[in-house]
Amino acid sequence: MDVRICSKVACGAGASATLTYDYADSMVVVGPLSTRVEPHGYDLCARHAATLRVPRGWQVIRRDPPPRTPDRTPS
């Protein structure tokens, strides 16, 4: 599997979130790293995802990754 890096120029950190825009609703959604590269999504590192700034009047929706379930080990 290829390592995906942050889409921000000059940032070489590994991506941990994916950002998508909804222009019609003036909304930005930041969620867990998508499972595949999408043409209208932008991969961001944790720092850039946390410090994201959007135009005035736009809404930011942050979606947390689903909780991990513990691996079951045979008894």
Compute mean pLDDT per 10 residues along the chain, 75 residues long, and list them.
Answer: 87 96 95 91 96 95 76 64
Predicted local distance difference test score (pLDDT) of residue 38: 87
pTM, to two decimals: 0.79
Q: How far is it, in rounded angstroms, from Cα 28 to Cα 38?
A: 15
